[in-house]
Amino acid sequence: MRAKAWWEGYLKGAAKFRGVPMGVIRECLHTWWRTGGIGSLPVARQKAIVLALIRERYTEDKLAGILAFAEILLPHLGIGDLPAMSALYELGHIADWNVCDWFSVKVLGRMVEQTVNRKDMARSIAVWRDAPGLWQRRAACVAFVNLAKRGDKVLPGLSALVLRTCSVNVRSKERFLQTGVGWVLRELSLAERDAVVAFARTHAPQMSRECMRYVTEKMPEDLRRELIAAQGSSPPGNKRKHRTHRK
């Protein structure tokens, strides 16, 4: 019960928890899939079951669905699945940073990595930056954090796509859009530092201080200080850090 209370408090009541550890969720999921006959169902039916899990109220159920997509059904996921995934955001089934980030990194990002036509998949996710909902817009950035650290070498045109998405999201003062921008640019700076530095200089007035700290975290100290100083009177961001639900 302490884990349940801690997580519900940490997310300020934005999500409900059972208090079940991630290791237990994963074990139960794979056992159920193996012994409950789920794996023998048509793939379309398996996907429907996973979507139903993510639509459940409790975070652990949602995480079980995310793990099922990431660890069982990933080879069967493609661009045609994005509308159903988009609906999870639109209907409020992904509505906190914890579930949003898990889904973005574990599912959306891996879908880009494993698909044959990476460019089309990446673009189809990146356009979520124009979605009306906060969490879907955040996903348009966070989905690329693992790819971004390898830059255009892993996907030609990736840096331009990420920077375009960030240029849209950074216009908002919403903290979780700002930190989504900061997170993906921090990783992109490892591969495309000059492009990220140029972005930071151009958009410094729009970036929260928290966002700028994220962006510059992996840069040389002198450059980091220069960019932070360049913000001048930019409004401070919320200093409270957040972390993802660990494996």
pLDDT digit string, tens, across residues 35-85:
999 999 999 999 999 999 999 999 999 999 999 999 999 999 999 999 999
Helix (H) or strand (E) holding 64: helix 59-68
Residue 145: Cβ within 10 Å count: 20
14-35 pLDDT per residue, tens: 667 677 888 999 999 999 999 9
Residue with more model confidence, 3 or 116 = 116
Q: What is the pLDDT of residue 164?
A: 99
Shared-domain flag, residues 132 and 27:
no
- The whole domain housing 146 covers 103-247
Q: Is residue 247 over pLDDT 60?
A: no
Shared-domain flag, residues 47 and 109:
no
CA atoms within 13 A on the CB side of 152: 11
Lowest mean pLDDT among 46-55, 113-122, 230-239: 230-239
Distances 114 to 7, 79, 190, 198, 233 between C-alpha atoms, Å: 32, 11, 22, 30, 43
Q: What is the pLDDT of residue 246?
A: 45
Q: Is residue 165 part of a domain?
A: yes
Q: Is residue 240 over pLDDT 50?
A: no
Shared-domain flag, residues 170 and 246:
yes
Taking a C-beta distance cutoff of 8 angstroms, is the pair 87, 110 a contact?
Answer: no
Q: Is residue 91 part of a domain?
A: no
Tokens at 108, concatenated: 């959306």
Q: Is residue 93 part of a domain?
A: no
Q: What is the pLDDT of residue 230?
A: 84
The mean per-residue pLDDT over the stretch 84-97 comes to 97
Strand partners, 16: 58
Tally the domains of the chain: 2
Shared-domain flag, residues 72 and 109:
no
Shared-domain flag, residues 137 and 35:
no
Q: How far apart are CA 164 and CA 48, in angstroms?
A: 33
CATH value at residue 153:
1.25.10.90
Mean pLDDT of all residues belonging to the chain:
91
Tell me which of 76, 95, 115 is where a domain ends: 76
Short-list 153, 147, 155, 221, CA closest to 184: 147
Q: Is residue 166 part of a domain?
A: yes
Q: What is the pLDDT of residue 238?
A: 43
Tokens at 45, concatenated: 């039916």
Looking at the whole model, is its pTM more than 0.95? no
Shared-domain flag, residues 66 and 134:
no
Shared-domain flag, residues 36 and 121:
no
Shared-domain flag, residues 66 and 110:
no
Q: What is the pLDDT of residue 16?
A: 72
Shared-domain flag, residues 49 and 111:
no
Residue with more model confidence, 11 or 90 = 90
At 196, which amino acid appears?
V
What does the radius of gyration of the chain's CA atoms come to, in whole angstroms? 18
Q: What is the pLDDT of residue 20?
A: 85
147-188 pLDDT per residue, tens: 999 999 999 999 999 999 999 999 999 999 999 999 999 999
Shared-domain flag, residues 71 and 117:
no
Shared-domain flag, residues 22 and 110:
no
The mean per-residue pLDDT over the stretch 198-223 comes to 97
At 122, which amino acid appears?
A
Sign of the dihedral through C-alpha 145, 247, 111, 129: negative
Q: How far apart are CA 230 and CA 80, in angstroms?
A: 43
Q: What is the pLDDT of residue 237?
A: 44
Shared-domain flag, residues 131 and 229:
yes
Share of the chain above pLDDT 90, in %: 83
Q: What is the pLDDT of residue 18?
A: 78
